[in-house]
A and B are shown apart, each in its own frame.
With several copies, the nearest count.
Chain A
Amino acid sequence: MKLLPFEKPLAELYDKIAQLRKLSIEGNIDLSSEIEKIESRAEQVRKEIYTNLTPNQIVQVARHPHRPDTASLIRLIFDTFVELHGDRLFGDDPAIVGGIATLGKFRVVVMGHQKGHDTKENIHRNFGMPNPEGYRKALRLMEMADRFRMPIITFIDTPGAYPGIEAEERGQAEAIARNLREMAGFTVPIISFVIGEGGSGGALGIGVANRLYMLQNAVYSVISPEGCASILFRDSKKSDIAADAMKITATEIMKLGIADGIIQEPLGGGHHDWKMVAQRIQETVQAELLNFKSLSGNEIKAQRYAKFRAMGRFLEPLE
């Protein structure tokens, strides 16, 4: 498992453990108590590191190449899943996967941004950056969900919508904007999870939800810390300061009233235990679907509207 820069203290301990193990086997010596000691020390260090992550470090966890991806989570969470393809207009975008799924008695439409875990996968998935046809596929599936009264589950994990010539030609702005408007109109509940990077309009394009959850080490921001740093701080290396200033962590997004809950990850980040992450998301999905069962379609729509209507901080003194 790739260690992140701030996990360096762990690297040394892990190396030492490996050496001791090798020694123990080669020399046929019992070093188990020494190994245990270092292991417990490593656990201690890991706990220390992970209970005090800076926003910038959290960004790195959120982008970890082995972080659980949408397609894998879907298969771990749901009983059945049939992937559906295409926007019926232009193409099928591998940067967004979606389909129909069941979970116990619940029937849902589920979709999310899809990143890869290696270069080849990432190129195929365009690093999780959708083109307009991705958003249009998502919309088609959501419209189907609304028609067949199936709740919508979305997983958000993208650096942003793809900034390319053809994406602009085919209306990236239009595709995202239309989704924002249409999602506001659906009468089925929409439950969204930011599972990694929630990057700007490209994230929001499938995120106009009744309920928004964030994984503990996920981030959600209007622009990447690097982008913010290079524009506002005039120095792209100041992304750590920008990450801090923009309030992009789960805790901050929750404080601002944008997220409704945080899903704890295993110590050391979600990439250490996909199943645990999946299980916790599954529990949340089930609980939320039960909650919304008692609401009518119009109530569901009104709740979503009220939620977004209240977003904003401004002053309005009496004249």
Chain B
Amino acid sequence: MSIIDWFAKKEKSTGSSERLNIPGDVWVKCTSCSEILFQKDLESNQKVCPKCGFHFRISPEERIRYTFDTNTFIEKDTTLGPTDFLRFFDTESYADRIRKAQSKSGKNDAVVSGTASINGLPVNTAIMNFAFMGGSMGSVVGEKITRIIERSVEDFKPVVVFTSSGGARMQEGIMSLMQMAKTSAALERLTEQRVPYISVLCDPTTGGTSASFAILGDINIAEPGALISFAGPRVIEQTIRQKLPKGFQRSEFLLAHGMVDMVTDRRELKTTLSTILTTLSIPREPI
């Protein structure tokens, strides 16, 4: 699965701006155009390179700030956390990996979920966090995504999910695979209830995440330049033994191949989301 690429690239430069910080947190180099940017300028531009438009990966906190009305985000299911139920040990134990990721991020797992509003429109929402173990989907991610969907089945609020994930979390074995089915099944109920679901696919969205809730939006919006794939580029290269074309599996490629509705600049996302949600939502009261 494409999480291979995440592991392979772990040490290399990525879209994550933290890795590129020059000491002092004042300057940052653009991954794409190599321009040296003033950190504050970048942040005030929603972490989009003012020169080339490159979209840096952002944290859930930043996403919340850029997308939702001020102070409207209320986190849910905050205590939900992972457990090493297989007692999985590779080069280190899953239990240790969890502890490290948690202490580094201050978060329990790779998704933050809750309620919020976008230009006054209430939504149930989840934001994946690539910085937490490559945004991999284990039981916690699956459960939290499923819960926000199930809440929307009840309260009719549209669902907005921001994905960023290398795929399934191998340390949870088959249980991580089953999260694909669990989240997709919840979406079946949502569809039946005629509640809109907007998926915002951010860099990267691959493997089991792409092949479940990420791609199943009534409307799929991709951030520019995001890697969106089922099989990772490396796996494909190994299979077909040739180099992949430039732009393969990037947002614009998916748009051309009919898989996403639009590629939207982060700075226009809030407006676009609010127009879409206003248009799609069936006017009604929650049950």
Contact = CB atoms under 8 A, between A and B. Distances in A.
The answer to A–B direct touch (Cβ < 8 A) is yes
Interface of A: 80, 82-92, 100-102, 107, 133, 137, 144, 147-150, 161-165, 167-174, 176-178, 180-182, 184-185, 200-201, 204-205, 207-208, 220-223, 227-228, 230-234, 242, 245-248, 253, 256, 258, 304-305, 308-309, 311-319
A95 to B, nearest CB: 13
Interface in B136-177: 139-140, 142-143, 146, 168, 170-177
Interface of B: 1, 3-4, 7, 77-83, 85-86, 88-91, 139-140, 142-143, 146, 168, 170-182, 184-189, 191-192, 194, 196, 207-208, 210-216, 218-219, 228-232, 235-236, 239-240, 244-245, 248-249, 255-262, 272, 275-276, 278-282
Given A148-B280, A256-B174, 19 more contacts: A84-B261, A86-B257, A91-B257, A100-B279, A101-B279, A168-B230, A168-B249, A177-B210, A180-B181, A201-B177, A208-B181, A222-B176, A231-B7, A231-B170, A232-B7, A232-B91, A245-B86, A311-B142, A313-B172
A256 B260 CA distance: 36
23 contacts: A84-B261, A86-B258, A86-B260, A86-B261, A147-B194, A163-B239, A164-B240, A165-B240, A173-B215, A177-B184, A180-B180, A181-B184, A185-B188, A200-B208, A201-B212, A230-B4, A232-B90, A248-B174, A308-B181, A314-B80, A314-B81, A315-B81, A319-B79
Name the prevailing secondary structure of the B interface residues.
helix
A107 B176 CA distance: 34
Contacts of A231: 3-4, 7, 170
A220 to B, nearest CB: 6
A221 B175 CA distance: 9
Given A246-B174, A313-B172, A91 B182 contact: no
Given A88-B259, A168-B249, A312 B175 contact: yes
Given A92-B256, A101-B279, A220-B174, A163 B261 contact: no
